[in-house]
Copies of this chain bind each other. A is one copy, B any other.
Amino acid sequence: MSAPLIAIDAMGGDFGPHCIVPASIACLVEFPSLHLVLVGQAPILEELIARHPAVDRARLHVEHASEVIGMDERPSQALRGKPDASMRVALELVRSGRAQACVSAGNTGALMALSRYVLKTLPGIDRPAMVSPVPTATGSCQLLDLGANVDCSAEHLYQFAVMGSVAAEALGVANPRVALLNVGTEEVKGNQQVKLAASLLQQAHGLNYTGFIEGDGLYRGEADVVVCDGFVGNILLKSSEGLAAMISARIENLFTANIAARLVGSMALPLLRRLQGDLTPARHNGASFLGLQGIVVKSHGAAGVEGFQSAIRRALIEVRENLPQRLHGRLEDLLL
């Protein structure tokens, strides 16, 4: 394989190039064969790159794009109004084959709309899905969809299951257990879409469908791929982030209540903070868009340098595994 080249939308996210440039440079150090193209306002990017004189400029390119899509801009506006947006130019680099993947921390809705428009979906896929690993008691599971699709039919859920299974395999899970998120594990439970999706999945050959899973079963590690619509997935993910943050804050408070507690805390907190690292989204950062004719990874808008690095890492794995090609092959067998 030739050296991987990834296009980076350098203007997105809450911290923009101030976070993305150092994260990109750190990845170039970590992966000596990696090439990156930073897309965005060249003067700003060059100035930030100049702060790292040791960087290997032969592997770090800058592609100028004059416009930036705002975090609150409507996807339709981003699609029509900004032909020279950094996000769009980065996606065009993937479409033209110059880059093998695009990473952005920008506006999620705009990134999804532009990805569909610029890259198109794989044959048989109606809608791309957003997938991300979630830490569980036994490792992690791939949860999808995470918000790209708020209203889903049974067929969409079926497609998500197929795509999630292939993605989990690409990440090294053999014969991944695929489950449908539901309010109970009995057959009679759930809404119409979920029941119908279950009957489609039961008939699918070559897919290790294990049935319904509940919210607590997900965290017990009962499946490798958990499928739900984007409304439910987004709320599950964000409420989990909120709960984990609340527990962390309460733990910190616990050890500041009095001198004795502070003393115990001075020994316990370093250990506990290591745990916190395992649970925070930054470590598991990088949601992939699945079902496109190209690789797109969305970094959390609030991600810092470390978080954006792990989004680039995820893109690199997908490039090495040639994920869209693998998906295309499996979809031909599994799609209805």
Determine the chain B residues whose CB is within 8 A of the CB of A74 once the complex forms: 188
A190 and B235 CA atoms in complex are apart in Å by: 11
Partner of A254, one of B216, B235, B271: B271
A239 and B236 CA atoms in complex are apart in Å by: 7
Q: Does A137 contact B (CB under 8 A)?
A: yes
Partner of A231, one of B72, B147, B183, B265: B183
Determine the chain B residues whose CB is within 8 A of the CB of A72 once the complex forms: 186
- In the complex, what residue of chain B is closest to A247 when comparing beta carbons? B247
A261 and B270 CA atoms in complex are apart in Å by: 11
Q: Are B264 and A241 in contact (CB under 8 A)?
A: no
List residues of A (247-281) whose CB comes within 8 Å of B's CBs: 247, 249-251, 254-255, 261, 264-265, 267-268, 271-272, 274-275, 278-279
Q: Does A230 contact B (CB under 8 A)?
A: yes
Determine the chain B residues whose CB is within 8 A of the CB of A255 once the complex forms: 268, 271
Q: Does A200 contact B (CB under 8 A)?
A: no
Determine the chain B residues whose CB is within 8 A of the CB of A135 once the complex forms: 246
Count of chain A residues near B, Cβ 8 A: 56
Q: Are A244 and B243 in contact (CB under 8 A)?
A: yes
Determine the chain B residues whose CB is within 8 A of the CB of A216 once the complex forms: 238-239, 241-242, 245
Count identical subunits in the complex. 2
Q: Are B246 and A219 in contact (CB under 8 A)?
A: yes
Q: Does A151 contact B (CB under 8 A)?
A: yes
Q: Does A191 contact B (CB under 8 A)?
A: yes
Q: Are A240 and B215 in contact (CB under 8 A)?
A: yes
Partner of A271, one of B236, B238, B249, B261: B261
Determine the chain B residues whose CB is within 8 A of the CB of A249 once the complex forms: 137
- In the complex, what residue of chain B is closest to A267 when comparing beta carbons? B264
User: How distant is A156 from chain B, measured CB to nearest CB, in Å?
Assistant: 13
Determine the chain B residues whose CB is within 8 A of the CB of A274 once the complex forms: 254
Instruction: Return the CB mask of A101-128 against B: 1 if under 8 Å, else 0.
Output: 0000000000000000000000000000
User: How distant is A135 from chain B, measured CB to nearest CB, in Å?
Assistant: 8
Q: Does A203 contact B (CB under 8 A)?
A: no
Determine the chain B residues whose CB is within 8 A of the CB of A219 once the complex forms: 239, 242-243, 245-246
A250 and B74 CA atoms in complex are apart in Å by: 41
- In the complex, what residue of chain B is closest to A236 when comparing beta carbons? B239
User: How distant is A147 from chain B, measured CB to nearest CB, in Å?
Assistant: 5
Q: Are A136 and B275 in contact (CB under 8 A)?
A: no
Determine the chain B residues whose CB is within 8 A of the CB of A218 once the complex forms: 239, 242
Q: Are B247 and A244 in contact (CB under 8 A)?
A: yes
Q: Does A96 contact B (CB under 8 A)?
A: no
List residues of A (108-165) whose CB comes within 8 Å of B's CBs: 135-137, 147, 150-151
A234 and B238 CA atoms in complex are apart in Å by: 15
Q: Are A241 and B254 in contact (CB under 8 A)?
A: no
Instruction: Return the CB mask of A54-77 against B: 1 if under 8 Å, else 0.
Output: 000000000000000000101000
Q: Does A237 contact B (CB under 8 A)?
A: yes
User: How distant is A185 from chain B, measured CB to nearest CB, in Å?
Assistant: 10
5 pairs, A vs B, C-beta closer than 8 Å = A214-B234, A215-B234, A228-B235, A236-B239, A268-B268
Besides A183-B230, A236-B236, A247-B275, 4 more A-B contacts (Cβ < 8 Å) are A228-B235, A243-B244, A254-B271, A264-B271
